[in-house]
Amino acid sequence: MSQIQTGLLILLLTFLGVVGYNVYLHETTPNEISYTEFVELLQTDKIITLHLKGGFVKGEDISMREFSSFIPDVPSILPLIAGKSIPVTAEKDVENLAGFMQSMVPVFLILGGYLIFSRMQKSDKSGFTRGKSSSFHPITSTNLTFNDVAGISEARTELVEIVESLKHPDKFSTLGGYIPKGVLLQGPPGTGKTLLAKAIAGEASVPFYSIGGSDFVEMFVGVGASRVRELFTEAKRNSPCIIFIDEIDAIGGKRSGGNASGSNDEREQTLNALLVEMDGFDSNQTVIIIAATNRPDILDPALLRPGRFDRQVTISLPDVKGRRKILEVHTKKIILARGINLSEIARAIPGFSGAEIANLVNEAALLAARKNKNGVELSDFEEAKDKISLGLERKNLVINEKDRRVTAYHEAGHAITAKLLPETDPVTKISIIPRGQALGLTQQVPLDDRYTYSREYLINRIKILMGGRIAEEIVFNHQTTGASNDIVTATAIASRLVCEFGMSTNIGPIAYMHEQDGFLGGNTATKPYSEKTAQLIDAETKKLIEQCYEETTELLTQHNKFLHKLAEALLVNETVDGEEMDIVHHCYINEKKIEENFKNKRKEV
């Protein structure tokens, strides 16, 4: 019988007990009559016994029927009772604790049943109780293998030894080596850390305990440490096995070192229990601990030392080859149209994690099904990518013709700057269809994955971001708020170029800020500097942006006709891809050559 069924049975028995108790009280409690009826019975000599207690009276009538009644004024009724030959008993009016407790029995029964049931539900969800370790339920088979994990071949190769050590432990102990006790999987979200841990368990065919770091955290001191001990006791009993702790940073953060407030006592006790248990395995107990985290920078050093987590495997975002392999795994579950080039799709989604690629394939399949197609086409993948990256198309948004033209020239300014400048990523798509919070987009896809960026690339990136605002100024002679996000991004690039990358000529190769080792982003550390240095940094950042602004203005002014042609193409078609932009550019070049030839002939004449 499961815990849920047991809990329901307890609630049913509690309900039946309350109903039975109420029936018993109804049968044993005397019939209550009014004061008028009591006086009438007394005057007509129909009462044979009486018992007085405070303002209440109980007795029996001549029919041997018990009754009770409330007397508002006891002294006034005593002369009437004295004139009758009725046996009368009395007692002091003290607080009847037994009666009160008797009336609270149903409440206690209901409350007790609810507490037992809620406790069982909590234990069933978390897998933990304060009692026996039999509450743990390991996964005996995950039905996953390394064939289900793609795009992280280096990490997979590193973990093959873990599987071999679980299958053939004597192979390593014969040469004097020992099996690693722990493996820390670190990397950005969605890269397959949990999937890889399940694949290890599936390959090794051993019990697999999967617990979240937050499952150990409770408001009651000592509960987390107790749960750690219960978990490891059960794991040792089922050795060899794997313990997987997801998001271990919830309990494995650096200890405070002298924090007198006691706010972190529970978490630190849990961490201490984990450290002790990881050191407490015997030689005949093969228990591998695998943990996953996005924040290895905040973990306690005692947790990362050899002997606990012997290996730290970094799982990075997949490269173009890895993305193609992940696409191959997930597209096996859907029907693809003929001629689909997965390499082309993989190249168009740089920076996508494994989870995002799985979501891309699913969204493409849903879009194809919505259009009643027989297979998922390339256009479905492109639409799914735009939906994931930029949001849904806002088809019901009504934009007036003036704002539409401004958006067209704005996006054309971005695209032309990217087209004409060297050391930039090629433009693959320009659109003035609103998506998410944006009224338009200019999409660039690198030919290859980039791991380092040159100064020229970063400077040109600032120019591309400024191209939209400058195009508005050249054509309409005014500015709009549509460039606000471009300006924020350009300022951030310029600040990092000066303060982090050391690419400023006046300041030199000095880092005044740097990113920390976390994989979640947004963690920047700043080096202390003086007010004079702050002014120098501000001046250098402003100088870079102004220089880029002036050079981009000159570039777009020189190619003003190209700007108009591309904007008009956007106003007609709403979306222009890279090939169509090349056609517009060729037309512009040919017209420019014809004009130059015409001018030269006029000079000759």
Query: Catalytic residues, which ones?
Result: 411
Cross-strand bridge partners of residue 443: 429
**Gyration radius from the chain CA atoms:** 39
Residue 415 CA to residue 407 CA, distance in Å, equals: 12
Q: Which amino acid is at 121?
A: Q
For residue 240, whether the previous peptide bond is cis, meaning omega lies within 30 degrees of 0, is: yes
Beta carbons of 49 and 59 less than 8 angstroms apart: yes
Distances (CA, A) of 419 to 137, 442, 521, 548: 59, 11, 30, 16
Could you give the C-alpha distances from 595 to 277, 562, 588, in angstroms and in order?
A: 82, 14, 11
Helices (H) and strands (E) in the chain, counts: 20, 15
- Residue 444: DSSP 8-state: E
In terms of DSSP bridges, do strands 182-186 and 311-314 run parallel, antiparallel, or are they unpaired? parallel
Residue 275 amino acid letter: L
Asked if 281 and 236 count as a contact pair (C-beta separation under 8 A), the reply is: yes
Q: String of b and e for 234-248 (b: at least 16 CB within 10 Å)? A: bbbeeebbbbbbbbb
| H or E stretch at 329 | helix 320-331
417, 467 in Cβ contact below 8 A?
Answer: yes
Decide: 384 and 363 in contact? Cβ < 8 Å.
yes
Give 118's contacts (C-beta < 8 A, 6+ positions apart).
Answer: none
For residue 557 the two structure tokens come to: 């002014």
From its phi and psi, is residue 4 left (phi > 0), alpha (psi between -120 and 50) or beta?
alpha
Q: Are 571 and 431 in contact (CB under 8 A)?
A: no
Q: Tell the residue number behind the tokens 């407490």, with chain if given.
A: 280
Give the residue among 437, 492, 467 at the shortest CA–CA distance from 566. 467
Contact 183, 159 (CB under 8 A): yes
What is the rounded distance in angstroms from the CA atom of residue 219 to the CA atom of residue 211? 18
**Listed residue (564, 578, 63, 510) closest to 347, CA to CA:** 578
Q: Residue 524 forms beta bridges with which residues?
A: 515
Among candidate residues 202, 206, 230, 203, the one with its CA nearest the CA of residue 216: 230
Name residue, tokens 């206690």.
Answer: 108
Reduced to 3 states (helix: H, G, I; strand: E, B; else coil), residue 508 is: coil
